[in-house]
Structure 1
């Protein structure tokens, strides 16, 4: 079955739990862009806090389609994000294996936020060993069987309010308290090939 969703930046673990059993993701890029969402924000764990990485965009204040949102390279966000990820996960067990795939996408300097996010999503699916195709949703095709995830995973509300993800603690780098539902790179860098199994076990009704 296919699932329609927004396109997020290095999505939270909950997102991958939600799409886990699907064959195809249909990305809705024709929606109006929304600020302060996972579309341009991801959360990672540093030594003393959870850090939100935010991609600056051009034109996000207006009613503009997500597909037209451009990344603002006048701000030096890319090096900040890459340094933040390296600082957070440089000593993680699987960082040296997986980080080059992530860094390569950053270095491609995509003009559009959707192009950047889509490439990162594709890389994450491969690293998670999930055989799910990624395509753009065509509003003209209504006959296919599909689920609709749009508007469900919201950065402004807790994952525990939804019936998708049940946080299964895994070994993180810092502190004794497990922090759930960070960006999927937290899971990948810390757990490597076990990440898919963690996702399966994190399904609320599995």
Structure 2
């Protein structure tokens, strides 16, 4: 039963993003929907000695642009973020092992926000042992604008028997509609992992960088054991 999952291209995503990828046979990046300000497409959080800190990529956006159309506003954005990450994690046990390659991706020129996010997601996924192919919705011959129809068409495109939704999907997805198309609807069920961190009391829901720099190769096991999927 091929499991298809779909997710918007978040910036330096939290561990649950990669857990969802680990459960799937195909992972589609949904870059064809409308961009929303102040969500996760252009920002995430790290932990510093002063507590949590937002990392935000400045973007050029006009309503109602799709995510794939949003460009990066300033070529200088990376310099400040790199300094913040280096200051926060320089003493983390596995920082030096992973940082230079991640830094190089941040410093490179990217055509748009999706290109940056996907480059980071693909690299981080490789480090974490995510093996399912990662594909862009914008590369697929699917033009449906109805949200449910779009999910079904993408799943059918890959001959999927199971569509894996995030946990919030149970509040708006109709299992009967998926069943009418011979697709079983499953939901990701996770709890944020707890692991040794720098800088005092534990803070959950940070970027996956926090796990990777603190735990190293053990990050795969910690993330995979966050939970599973349910009907």
Scaled to the shorter chain, the TM-score interval is: 0.7 to 0.9
**For 1:110 and 1:81, how far apart are their aligned partners in 2?**
16
The CA RMSD over aligned residues, in Å, is 2.2
Aligned to 1:67: 68
How many positions carry a matched residue from both structures? 195
Contact 1:110 1:116 in 2 (8 A): yes
Q: Where does the alignment leave 5 or more consecutive residues of structure 2 unmatched?
A: 144-152, 170-186
Task: Encode CA deviations 1:31-81: one digit per residue, 9 max, x unaligned.
Answer: 01111111001110000210011111002x41001111000116x321111
**For 2:221 and 2:165, how far apart are their aligned partners in 1?**
22
Contact 1:164 1:204 in 2 (8 A): yes
Larger radius of gyration, structure 1 or 2? 2
Counting helix residues as a fraction of each chain, which structure ranks higher? 2
> Following TM superposition, by how much is the alpha carbon of 1:200 offset from its aligned partner in structure 2, in angstroms?
1.9
Q: Is 1:165 matched with 2:190?
A: yes
SS at match of 2:6: strand
Aligned to 2:58: 56
TM-score by length of 1: 0.87
Q: Where does the alignment leave 5 or more consecutive residues of structure 1 unmatched?
A: 154-161
Aligned to 1:113: 113
Aligned to 2:177: none
> Following TM superposition, by how much is the alpha carbon of 1:6 offset from its aligned partner in structure 2, in angstroms?
0.5
One of 207, 210, 215 as aligned partner of 1:191 = 215
Q: Is 1:81 matched with 2:81?
A: yes
Task: Encode CA deviations 1:98-143: one digit per residue, 9 max, x unaligned.
Answer: 0011111112121200000000000000111221211012226542
Specify which structure has the bigger relative contact order, considering alpha-carbon pairs within 8 angstroms and separated by 6 or more residues. Answer: 1
Cα distance change of structure 1 residues 150 and 37 upon mapping to structure 2, 3 Å threshold:
farther
Task: Encode CA deviations 1:161-185: one digit per residue, 9 max, x unaligned.
Answer: x96321231110110x211121001
Cα distance change of structure 1 residues 170 and 163 upon mapping to structure 2, 3 Å threshold:
same
Q: Is 1:147 matched with 2:172?
A: no
SS at match of 2:88: helix
Counting strand residues as a fraction of each chain, which structure ranks higher? 2
**For 2:11 and 2:168, how far apart are their aligned partners in 1?**
16
Contact 2:164 2:188 in 1 (8 A): no
Contact 2:72 2:113 in 1 (8 A): yes
